Amino acid sequence: MKEAHLNAEELSRRIGLPASTIKKIRNNDDPNPTLSTLTPLAKYFSLTISQLVGDEPFSESRISGSYNINLHTLNHVPLISWEEAINWPFKDNKVRPTITTEYEYSKDAYALIVDEDDWESLSKDTVLLVDPKLQVEHRDFIIAHRSGQKTPTLKQVLFDEGQMYLKPVTQKYNIAIFTSEHKILGVIVEYKKQLRKNPLELID
């Protein structure tokens, strides 16, 4: 997980296991996980169950510190402005920088740079990778736009008794009910916090 830059929440979204279960395994709080828990973990990291539980050694490509990104499989996601996200995707002749990622998202995926400095858990200049084709699930972070607003915003989706709510990422705003005035512009699928140190490192 460390070498693939995945936290428990992101791995949970990708394989369907609860983040709490993943954290228990990592912290050795669950010494006897079930086969149904181990199988998706092993499959995601291309391991056998025996390798995952330590009965067999990892292959050389899985030895700690030997993980290398395959440059031929990197995907390039266009970096756009928050205003452009409202009507994305659209065709124009503008040349945009891209953010590279090891993961494959839909052809309409795009990237945004956080330009606020008061967001909880996301510092300014963090890059967000957004996929507009994903179905929104409980606790997903999304890019949302309300009719009449100049720019979209980052929200967390909460579902309760069939109703969708939008939770802001700053404490000074209140949770709002999702209405017909709102439009979901995509689900946050990845973020790159290391851009805080050098925003140009991952931008082509």
Per-residue model confidence as pLDDT tens digits over 42-61 = 887 777 888 888 888 876 65
| Predicted local confidence at residue 192, as pLDDT | 79
pLDDT at 198 over 50: no
Q: What is the pTM of this model?
A: 0.62
The pLDDT tens digits of the residues spanning 3-38 come to 777 888 888 877 888 888 899 888 887 777 888 888
Rounded Cα distance, 164 and 138, in Å: 9
Q: Please give the full DSSP string across 22-82, using - where no structure is assigned.
A: HHHHHTTS-SS--HHHHHHHHHHTT--HHHHHTSSPPPGGGSTT-----GGG-EEEEB--H
Q: Which domains does the chain have, with CATH numbers?
A: 8-62 (no CATH), 71-196 (2.10.109.10)
Mean per-residue pLDDT of the chain: 83
pLDDT at residue 120, rounded to an integer: 72
